[in-house]
Amino acid sequence: MKRRKVLYLICIGGLLLLIPGLFSIHDMPNEERRDREPITIEPDSRMLVALTFDDGPNPLYTLQVLDILYEHQALATFFISGKQIADHVCLLEQMVSDGHELANHTYHHYDLTTLSTDEIRREIQRTQEALEQVLPFYPLQYVRPPFGRYNDRLQEASHLPIVLWDIDSRDWELRDAEAIFSIVMEKVQDGSIIVFHDDNPYTVEALKRLVPELIQSGFQPVTLTQLFERHDHVRP
């Protein structure tokens, strides 16, 4: 309890440093801690889907994504950028305490095909090390190369499985919640891994409809590890 209070004060302190007025009322930075039970999903005979979120944590949108997932009791996997870790400890702690999975999206978000094997190794290790500073004993299990671009040097540099996706929600280019919703609902099937970005309002808007719709259509939104336990064929 004591630790929570201290963390809470640090979070609020961080927010006060941000200049108000730069953001609209819906886009105010929000890194409050939510005091709530973890989401638990036991995969049963229903279809499974893995919602994955790249490039966060984001001070404007990640908590909104977490709240939507919580409301519908859906689990997800967050491919975090190492350079975002130190500034968004509250959000990372919320992801873990809600029951979501964290994974490695490298430190600087460089195109890995432009780097040497050693540089790639460093991009991955530095992310793990930054996370250990704030969440000790959390080994990231999967790596996703920025832009989905990689070559043999990534396989040499990392012992972690490389996880891409089979459905691109195209939220990074569409800027349209309705279109994001439609793309996913048209393509989703048992075992799908869907990529989103928790860094924009269109994804948040899309998820408000998409998460309950997926559940109503018979899907359980689970972590990658839960999905891989059943869908070995998509394991890289």
List binders of Ni ion among 134-193 (CB under 5 A): 146
**Smallest distance from Ni ion to CB 105, Å:** 6
Q: Is 78 exposed, middle or buried (0-12, 13-18, 19+ CB in 10 A)?
A: buried
Q: Which is nearer to Ni ion, 100 or 105 (CB)?
A: 105
- Whether the CB-CB separation of 206 and 182 falls below 8 Å is answered with no
Number of residues counted as binding Ni ion (CB under 5 A): 3
Q: Which is nearer to Ni ion, 55 or 123 (CB)?
A: 55
Which residue do the tokens 């089979």 mark? 166
Q: Does 123 bind Ni ion (CB under 5 A)?
A: no
Q: Is 24 exposed, middle or buried (0-12, 13-18, 19+ CB in 10 A)?
A: exposed
Give the other-Cβ count within 10 Å of 221's Cβ: 23
Q: Which is nearer to Ni ion, 146 or 221 (CB)?
A: 146
- Whether the CB-CB separation of 58 and 29 falls below 8 Å is answered with no
**Smallest distance from Ni ion to CB 172, Å:** 8
Exactly one of 88, 100, 105, 197 is catalytic; which is it?
197
Exactly one of 54, 55, 171, 198 is catalytic; which is it?
54
Q: Is 168 a catalytic residue?
A: no
Q: Does 55 bind Ni ion (CB under 5 A)?
A: yes
**Smallest distance from Ni ion to CB 128, Å:** 17
Q: Is 54 a catalytic residue?
A: yes
Stretch that binds Ni ion, among 17-25, 50-58, 128-136, 171-179 (CB under 5 A): 50-58
Q: Does 54 bind Ni ion (CB under 5 A)?
A: yes
Q: Which is nearer to Ni ion, 57 or 146 (CB)?
A: 146
**Smallest distance from Ni ion to CB 28, Å:** 24
Selection from 120, 75, 122, 123 nearest residue 102 by Cα = 75
Q: Which is nearer to Ni ion, 196 or 219 (CB)?
A: 196
Q: Which residues bind Ni ion (CB under 5 A)?
A: 54-55, 146
The residues that are catalytic are 54, 197
